[in-house]
Amino acid sequence: MKMKQSDYMAAVKVIQWVGTNSFMLAEVPKPKPGPGEVVIRVRAAGVHPIETHRLIGADYRDGRGVFVPGLEAAGLVDAVGPEVPVFKPGNPVFTLGTLSGACAEFALCDWRQLFPLPERLPFSSGAVLGIPYAAACRALFDIAQIEPDEILLIHGASGGVGFAAVELAKRRGARIVGTAGSDLARRLIARQGAAGDVILEMRPDLNLKLDLTMLAREGRLVLIGGYDAADLEGCRPQRADAKIEPLRTFDTPVSEHGEASTVAL
């Protein structure tokens, strides 16, 4: 069947991935919602560094040869499929993930990936609410189980996840030390002999060795981004009772964003 002009939309399209970037702005078919699915009219899409890890080394082309980047968005509900218990066309929403890619005029979502957009937030802010804050919650509360008055060191406090962690840890009553841009602050802290109960690390490739010397008794080091257990082989904290946990932000299902976070918040 020939598609009408309105059956297409503009999208950032990945046409191949063979170790080099290859993106283009293209007309691609507009998604249609099936059972349990919702199409949103995207007003803003978030850009995250984890997109890099998601793309490298994998063939993400679907059956139509289309892959649209973008993990989260904010916009208005456009069309609702059957078996969706909430949401109507026109509802402002933000997403935690999409099925079809966020960097497009329309995005297909599982209805469980959608949440009402807070009235105070513009679409541009709603597009960076879901993943950074969920990642910070998971790192702080589900993995590190940070307690009030513990010392939290955030390497990369000026990034999206780091900034979210500062806000959330402050509410929790943690004492926060953050670094941004350079490792000067970290080196000053290390020189003073300070130790972190919890360290959130955005750049283990740069900081991991020193992090291992800075963990307090029963300290928890959370590595955020595209790192996994294989990257940690041979890495041991100086204190035997300290722990290292990687957090892969993009492959954690919504259902695993967890109980500890809801209690802590």
Distance CA 119, CA 132 (A): 19
Phi, psi values for residue 152, rounded to 5°: -110, 125
Helix axes 130-137, 160-172, angle to 10 degrees: 50
In the complex, least distance from residue 112 CB atom to another protein, rounded to whole angstroms: 7
In the complex, least distance from residue 218 CB atom to another protein, rounded to whole angstroms: 25
DSSP code at position 71: S
Closer residue to another protein in complex, CB, 125/190: 125
Angle at 107 between CA 106 and CA 111, to 5 degrees: 130
Distance CA 166, CA 122 (A): 21
In the complex, least distance from residue 145 CB atom to another protein, rounded to whole angstroms: 15
Distance CA 203, CA 193 (A): 21
Residue from 243, 240, 239, 241 nearest 223 by CA: 243
In the complex, least distance from residue 179 CB atom to another protein, rounded to whole angstroms: 12
Closer residue to another protein in complex, CB, 182/192: 182
Strand, helix or coil for residue 262: helix
In the complex, least distance from residue 217 CB atom to another protein, rounded to whole angstroms: 28
Closer residue to another protein in complex, CB, 225/237: 225
Q: Output the six-digit token pair for 34.
A: 């099936």
Contacting residues toward another protein, per CB under 8 A? 10, 12, 21, 23-25, 42-47, 49-53, 69-70, 75, 86, 96, 103-105, 112, 115-116, 118-121, 123-130, 132-134, 137, 156, 158-164, 167-168, 171, 202-203, 224-226, 254-255, 257-258, 261-262, 265
Closer residue to another protein in complex, CB, 130/216: 130
Closer residue to another protein in complex, CB, 59/119: 119
